[in-house]
Amino acid sequence: MYAAFRSIGAYIPTKILTNADLEVMVDTTDEWITKRTGIKERRIAAKDETTSDMGMKAAEIAIQRSGLKKSQIDMLICATISPDYFCMPSTATIIATKLGLEKVTAFDVSAACTGFVYALSIAKAFIESGMKKNVLIIGAEKLSAITDYTDRGTCILFGDGAGAAVISATEDKKQAIIDIHTGSDGSFADLLMTPNGGSGSAHDELDREKASCFMKMKGNETFKVAVRTLTNDVVSILKENNIQSSEIKHFVPHQANYRIIKAVGDALALQDEQVVLTVEKYGNTSGASIPMAINDIYESGRLQEGDLMLLDAFGGGLTWGSALVPFAGIAHH
């Protein structure tokens, strides 16, 4: 049994936060943000809109496009670092209930911006082992809830949104997800973290009172490790699978920074039309960024059945991952 990437869906919040808006909030300029990151605007969820609300909406579309009935989904994984609730319940269980999926196996994955690739690898393993048949994977983030809008080093980067995909069992090897790499190195944990609010920080009442979940990042150091790690990882996954970069129809990187994407794309000698870019309009939506980007090319008609995608992600942990994924399209019964 193989695992096939059947369908994609996304939810894009309507509210737009532009670079001009940020110029009023912190000491920055549109020119600086554009030049250093490639970001022009990002989406912000409504005040009462949760990560699970957005994940549920993306999932509804992915399920509908998969041609499957909801009752056929037997596992739901949500990749997020901005869950509805700290610790419990998981955002995945809330989404499952909102979707009306009864008694489904549901859990969250915490791997920051690499979360969707981690979730994809878990889905693949469960399907190939025969334990599950149709796995719904979701990347959903309300990063605005954990962003410090007085910190110009981070608040210019992040946005909200959700993406979802249905991964299904198939006997057709042509449709099979070819390979997935995942890795981590906790010795770089301090580069990108939410230092407060967990058991690592809340040692007394004072700490607990101060606790906030705002992200802190050493941007420049993270940038350098990101370029090195991502490049090594995509080069090795292609080599191990004997695939040339010219065979990649869509390179779908995590949308953190245009300069990181460009550096990795250049290392693989990719043409511009192979590289999927949404960073300009959505910013960095962590675990949601890859499925939102795949949805973008799906809805614009660029993604066709059989197209080979190379996914590539990097994020807090540090974590990283890449995947070689043919787009299988709707199940033909």
Torsional sign, CA 302, 304, 309, 311: positive
Contact between 49 and 84 under an 8 Å Cβ cutoff? The reply is no
Q: Which of 85, 318, 33, 87 is nearest to 187 (CA)?
A: 318
Size of the site for ligand ACO (CB under 6 A): 24
Mask 227-266, x = binds ligand ACO (CB under 6 A)?
-----------------------------xx--x------
Q: Which of 1, 4, 35, 33 is nearest to 17 (CA)?
A: 33
What span, in angstroms and rounded, lies between the C-alpha atoms of 35 and 252? 21
Residues 6 or more apart whose CB falls under 8 angstroms from that of 213 comprise 86, 145, 146, 194, 196, 197
SS3 315: strand
Under rule CB under 6 A, which residues in 140-199 are in contact with ligand ACO?
Answer: 152-153, 156, 192
Our CB check for ligand ACO shows the closer of 4 and 22 to be 22
197: left (phi over 0), alpha (psi -120 to 50) or beta: left
Angle made by CA atoms 287, 148, 218, in degrees to the nearest 5: 70
Q: Which of 52, 134, 286, 295 binds ligand ACO (CB under 6 A)?
A: 286
Shortest separation between residue 32's beta carbon and ligand ACO, angstroms: 4
* Residue 315 contacts ligand ACO per CB under 6 A: yes
- Catalytic: 242? no
Give the active site residue among 19, 113, 134, 257. Answer: 113
Mask 65-104, x = binds ligand ACO (CB under 6 A)?
----------------------------------------
Q: Which of 23, 30, 32, 179 binds ligand ACO (CB under 6 A)?
A: 32
E strands present in the chain: 2-11, 15-18, 41-44, 75-79, 105-109, 134-142, 160-170, 179-184, 192-193, 216-217, 250-253, 308-315, 319-326
- Catalytic: 232? no
Q: Which of 70, 117, 34 is nearest to 290 (CA)?
A: 117
Q: Which of 7, 222, 255, 322 binds ligand ACO (CB under 6 A)?
A: 222
Our CB check for ligand ACO shows the closer of 314 and 327 to be 314
Q: Which of 226, 252, 310, 325 binds ligand ACO (CB under 6 A)?
A: 226
Q: Token pair of 298, please?
A: 């799906």
Our CB check for ligand ACO shows the closer of 89 and 153 to be 153
- Catalytic: 113? yes
Instruction: Please give the positions annotated as active site.
Output: 113, 254, 284
Which residues here bind ligand ACO, judged by CB under 6 A?
A: 28, 32-33, 36-37, 112-113, 152-153, 156, 192, 219-220, 222-223, 226, 256-257, 260, 284, 286, 314-316
